[in-house]
Amino acid sequence: MTDHLTEAEVSVFRERTMRPTERERIDSHAAECESCLRRILPTEDSALVYRELTEALLPDSADEAFHLSNAEVRRYANGSIDQADRVIFESHFDICDLCSEAVQSLIASPLVESVAASGVQPEIPQQQFSPVWSGAFQFTPARAVAGVLVVAGLVLAFVVWQRWHARAVDQTAQKTSSQTLSNTPGSGSPAPTQTEATKDPTIEQLAVAASLEDNGRKIQLDGSGKLIGLEELPEASRSLVRSVLTTKTLSKPEVLEKLTAPSIILMDPTARENSFGLLAPSGTVIATDHPNLRWQALEGATSYAVSVFDTDFNRVARSAPQAATQWTSTQLRRGMIYSWEVVAVRNGQEVRSPVAPAPRAQFKILEAEKLIELTNLKKHSPISHLTLGLTYARFGLLAESEGQLQILARENPNSPVATRLLRTVQEWRKR
């Protein structure tokens, strides 16, 4: 074994700055010396491996042209080469007219058919070929490593392409499916799987969360929370409708809790004979500041007197004795809570209602700003029974709310939402 290559020789070999004869000498040494081969061709440097392969097979512009030897041409013509040599030889024929003509002449010669039998090889003009480059196609460890890396690169590229292609096909299929689901019923006949998906109630619920007929128009809430059909109304009203249709429930206003109290049943049955009930308003908010107070008739009573009190039990209004069972109060202050009672006279004795332990009959006069909001809602044409009913309920005007929601329920006889809203307000009025 000769001495190892110097660093200078390794460097010039990598940079391909040496003469062909020097390159052949270094290549021959590297083929026998694994240590120098590793110095010249590090395994982790795939770019260098590829460059070594291409430079070993194709000379640069500074090199002299080379040709195949007589023996190599005869081997190709006789078909006695393997697939790897065949690829290399044919690549050379593509760029070398002399070698290509020589091999074609040899193949066309009748001597080729008798080569195997006679052992006589036809001669090709020796001056056409240079032995200097005959070793360019010889096997070396460096070229084997380079070949393996090139093949690995091609395999990796093919795998990447396959994954990209599969992803592209999947995205196209998803897009096509989405477009089919969005088509109208008359646009075509979808595939069975798409038809089943279109009929899936979950998809329909996502498309329309709630839908109601409202005074000749359709009110809808889609799956994204967008309200359709009340665009002309203020945002506060639209927000109320959107919230109720989303939750499908009504929240009881706090003011109603202040105006109502649980009923108390009297244990003395004779006490019922000497009592009568107050009808309205009680446990609710009213819009007018001149409330009309109504009560039940007491059998045998000759007159009734009504008194209205504030929260400090100060009498703020009083009627004269009368035979009628209703009375319209004088003007009261808006935003205030009041209670009232009736005193009946029967057989010269007073009978009061309500009386302990029954709760007081209370009501509240609607604030001025809320009254203005209701007035503006009524100006829109057509009037939205849904919006008015929900706004009345939010303000605590239960009788008015029930009236609007009854109209809505009649327009939507099969709607569980409309039915639930009406029943909720009716339950509030019973308490």
pLDDT band for position 170 (cuts 50, 70, 90): low
Q: Does the pLDDT value for residue 369 go beyond 90? A: yes
Residues 320 and 382 in one domain: no
Distance CA 317, CA 63 (A): 122
Mean pLDDT to the nearest integer, 377-401: 94
119 or 367: which leads in pLDDT: 367
Residue 156 covered by a domain: no
pLDDT of residue 152: 61
pLDDT band for position 62 (cuts 50, 70, 90): very low
Structure tokens at 122: 């036809």
pLDDT of residue 56: 46
Q: What are the distances in angstroms from CA 148 to CA 22, 151, 162, 237?
A: 26, 5, 21, 74
Query: Model-level pTM?
Result: 0.51
> Per the omega criterion (within 30 degrees of 0), is the bond before 357 cis?
yes
Question: What is the extent of the structural domain holding 240?
Answer: 192-247
Residues 25 and 101 in one domain: yes
Using the structure block, give the residue that is written with the tokens 């490593």: 145
| CA-wise closest residue to 295 among 261, 340, 333, 338 | 340
Domain boundary among 365, 383, 406: 365
User: Residue 317: beta bridge partners?
Assistant: 308
Q: Does the pLDDT value for residue 49 go beyond 50? A: no
What is the pLDDT of the chain when averaged over all its residues?
76
Q: Does the pLDDT value for residue 404 go beyond 70? A: yes
Residues 379 and 296 in one domain: no
The answer to whether the CB of 70 falls within 8 A of the CB of 124 is yes
How many alpha carbons fall within 13 Å on the CB side of residue 300?
A: 10
What is the enclosing helix (H) or strand (E) of 288? Answer: none
pLDDT band for position 94 (cuts 50, 70, 90): confident
How buried is 111 (Cβ within 10 angstroms: 0-12 exposed, 13-18 middle, 19+ buried)?
Answer: middle
Domain count, the chain: 4
Residues 338 and 376 in one domain: no
The answer to whether the CB of 345 falls within 8 A of the CB of 301 is yes
Residues 323 and 277 in one domain: yes
| CA-wise closest residue to 303 among 325, 287, 274, 281 | 325
Structure tokens at 247: 């939750």
Neighbours of 39 (CB within 10 A): 17
pLDDT band for position 157 (cuts 50, 70, 90): low
Residues 359 and 421 in one domain: no
Residues 340 and 411 in one domain: no
Q: Is the dihedral of CA 312, 313, 318, 322 positive or negative?
A: positive
Residue 84 covered by a domain: yes
125 or 12: which leads in pLDDT: 12
pLDDT of residue 234: 92
Domain holding 361: CATH number?
A: 2.60.40.3780
Mean pLDDT to the nearest integer, 49-74: 58
Report the greatest alpha carbon distance in the chain: 157
Question: What does the angle CA 108 – CA 114 – CA 119 come to, to the nearest 5 degrees?
Answer: 120
* Alpha-carbon Rg for the chain in angstroms: 52
Q: Percent of the chain scored above 90 by pLDDT? A: 41
Q: Does the pLDDT value for residue 247 go beyond 50? A: yes
pLDDT of residue 155: 57
Structure tokens at 411: 């327009």
Residues 359 and 415 in one domain: no
Residues 216 and 319 in one domain: no
Residues 142 and 106 in one domain: yes
| CA-wise closest residue to 252 among 427, 123, 74 | 427
pLDDT band for position 26 (cuts 50, 70, 90): confident
Residue 175 covered by a domain: no
